């Protein structure tokens, strides 16, 4: 990670759809095995999914249980694996919105609720 990148801590369900789609492509077999642990600003151990764009480093707050449930509830996943046709479906939409991935305000790891 480059130190000049914006750093954002955010809940999965509060991310823009374009970012969520890119995260799904980055983690097509789910999130649980990719969760990291860190100490938040209140001194509590929490888990999060790391994700990077060209300009932003995200820590997406979720527990292992939440990570499993997100995949179970998401129609884009079948048997815990991202559908083969998902990338084709979103790439056409995302090409027009690519700049939006990097237009999220800089929080310098400030928790967003």
pLDDT, tens digit, for every residue of 66-87? 999 999 999 999 999 999 888 8
pLDDT average, residue stretch 104-111: 54
Residue 79 located in a structural domain: yes
For tokens 């449930």, the residue is 69
Residue 113 located in a structural domain: no
Give the alpha-carbon dihedral of 19, 46, 30, 113, to 10 degrees: -30
Instruction: Evaluate whether 71 touches 31 at the Cβ level (below 8 Å).
Output: yes
User: What domain count does the chain have?
Assistant: 1
pLDDT, tens digit, for every residue of 8-34? 999 999 999 999 999 999 999 999 999
Beta strand residue intervals within 1-113, DSSP E: 6-11, 36-39, 45-52, 56-61, 77-78, 81-82
Residue 112 located in a structural domain: no
Domain range enclosing 71: 6-102
């Amino acid at each position: 990670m480059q130190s000049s990148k914006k750093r954002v801590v955010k809940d999965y369900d509060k991310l823009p759809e374009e970012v969520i789609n890119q995260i799904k492509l980055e983690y097509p077999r789910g999130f649980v095995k990719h969760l990291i642990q860190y100490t938040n600003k209140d001194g509590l151990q929490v888990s999060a999914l790391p994700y990077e764009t060209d300009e932003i480093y995200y820590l997406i707050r979720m527990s292992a249980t939440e990570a499993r449930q997100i995949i179970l509830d998401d129609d884009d996943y079948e048997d815990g694996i991202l559908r083969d046709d998902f990338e084709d479906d979103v790439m056409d939409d995302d090409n027009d919105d690519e700049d939006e991935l990097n237009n999220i305000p800089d929080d310098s790891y400030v928790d967003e609720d």
